[in-house]
Structure 1
Amino acid sequence: MSNLLELNDLHVSYGKTAALHGVSMTVRAGEVVALIGANGAGKSTTLRAISGLLRPTRGDIVFDGRPIGGMEAHRIVGLGIAQSPEERHVWPAMSVYENLTLGAYLCRQKAEVDKRVGVVYHRFPRLKERHRQLAGTLSGGEQQMLAIGRALMSEPRLLLLDEPSLGLSPRMAEEVFEFVREINQHGVTVLLVEQNVHNALSVASRAYVFETGRVVAERDAAGLLEDPGLLSAYLGG
């Protein structure tokens, strides 16, 4: 498989505070890759830099052979990258349908937008049942489905998922990760940030371990699960 995404010596800062210190990694087309590490290790910052929400101070981000570091976020969406953010950030006073259509804001044809909504409803039947319901009245799990569905509305080749199981019951988290498997089986490459290491490694083929803004290890997912010493050293248990 060819590399769909490459990060080379990526540095990112929040003001004068450095958050990433030379992160390098690859994601091959068709993979699910997990970023794991303690809170504040730089995982979400990495996703935000890829999606254009943060501008790198140094280094390269290359998507499908094209440099995108520092590119405006809406242009990155147009190239085929979409992000489902941490804590979901749905618009609570808008309906499920309205939230989904906002995910296709680059598409100007209503027939095409409605076609994409139908694809999302097929993958998430619960959203179809609640298509007129205000997003703020949905359960946490339903809001997570909506956030992922909204990201899929741009028909991305690479989906960035930031903490998809945050605040969910174990049963609902399992359901969300089953959706991740299904999405990947339909050809979408996934880069996943997830605090629950076992959930992350259950769907990923490879994982990068982050510590204080650096990649300290890269392993296949099965190998990481069999290395409790490494997990304990960098994740605290």
Structure 2
Amino acid sequence: MTHQNESEVLLELDNVVAGYGNLVALHGISLSVRHKEVVALLGANGAGKSTTLRTISGLIKPSAGAIRWKGQGIAGSPPEAILRLGISHCPEERHVWPEMTVEENVELGGYLLNSKVELRRRKEIAFHRFPRLRERARQLAGTLSGGEQQMLAIARALMSEPQLLILDEPSLGLSPRMADEVFDVIREINAHGVSILVVEQNVHKALNVASRAYVLETGEVIAEKDSASLKNDPELLNAYLGG
């Protein structure tokens, strides 16, 4: 078994340009995520945060620049290939399948697995990590609360046992108590060695869990700081993140 160096860069974006049709949303984004690191991507609505995540996970093909995973170029690879490499994307607004049960939704996260035994093992880990989902395993996912649906979306994303989990607005629309629970889960996942790249409107929650953060404005990185420095930079927080 190879032991990874914690300073090893897992994911690297180098001058990535991407968008939708003729609309360029990212104007040369560069960032990195190291082994076992939590990195936050911050910025106002429309700054290009979700586009960055979609480009990493293969949902959008960049028109220029490089995306490297452990030094290998992956820009333009299909989402399934990127998932197989160890990058799992938990999208904004959760996107659970409401007419399927909680258990079926969790199992969907293991669709690349060929072994029923392995699927069962991973499902058991998911239910151990999220006891509330076990209690509601036979319930339709559409009947869950927003917070429970977010837990379900994260559980499903973890079924591929990723090395990097990408989270888009995990606390969106949740009560403060549920948001705290979600961030506790994020800490626990990271403590088990999973690197995390998180987009989050709640800047203070994001900075409390991340070691570093990038601030985006209109598709460009305008700052990169460790979380402690960013918390103590009211000028930057007010100018680009609404305090």
Work out whether 1:109 is the aligned partner of 2:115.
yes
Residue number in structure 2 paired with 1:100: 106
Residue number in structure 2 paired with 1:166: 172
- The 2-side partners of 1:53 and 1:24 are apart by 18
- The 2-side partners of 1:64 and 1:125 are apart by 34
**Alpha carbon RMSD of aligned pairs, Å?**
0.6
Show structure 1 runs of 4+ deviating over 2 A.
none
Residue number in structure 1 paired with 2:13: 7
Aligned residues of 2:18 and 2:63 also touching (Cα < 8 A): yes
Residue number in structure 1 paired with 2:3: none
2:141 aligned to 135, 145, 149, which one?
Answer: 135
Residue number in structure 2 paired with 1:211: 217
Residue number in structure 1 paired with 2:154: 148
- The 1-side partners of 2:115 and 2:36 are apart by 28
1:179 aligned to 182, 185, 195, which one?
Answer: 185
Residue number in structure 1 paired with 2:44: 38
What displacement does 1:236 show? 2.6
1:125 aligned to 108, 128, 131, which one?
Answer: 131
What displacement does 1:129 show? 0.5
1:53 aligned to 45, 59, 73, which one?
Answer: 59
Residue 185 of structure 1 aligns with an amino acid whose one-letter code is A
Aligned residues of 2:102 and 2:140 also touching (Cα < 8 A): yes
Work out whether 1:189 is the aligned partner of 2:198.
no
Work out whether 1:226 is the aligned partner of 2:232.
yes
Aligned residues: 237
- TM-score with structure 1 length normalisation? 0.99
Residue 62 of structure 1 aligns with an amino acid whose one-letter code is R
What displacement does 1:108 show? 1.1
What displacement does 1:4 show? 0.4
Gaps of 5+ in 2: 1-6
1:163-200 deviation digits (Å, cap 9, x = unpaired) = 00000000000000000000000010000000000010
Gaps of 5+ in 1: none
Structure 2 counterpart SS, 1:52: coil
Residue 171 of structure 2 aligns with an amino acid whose one-letter code is S
Residue 25 of structure 1 aligns with an amino acid whose one-letter code is L
How much identity, in percent, do the aligned residues show? 65
- The 2-side partners of 1:90 and 1:114 are apart by 20
Residue 78 of structure 2 aligns with an amino acid whose one-letter code is E
Aligned residues of 2:42 and 2:214 also touching (Cα < 8 A): yes
Residue 130 of structure 2 aligns with an amino acid whose one-letter code is F
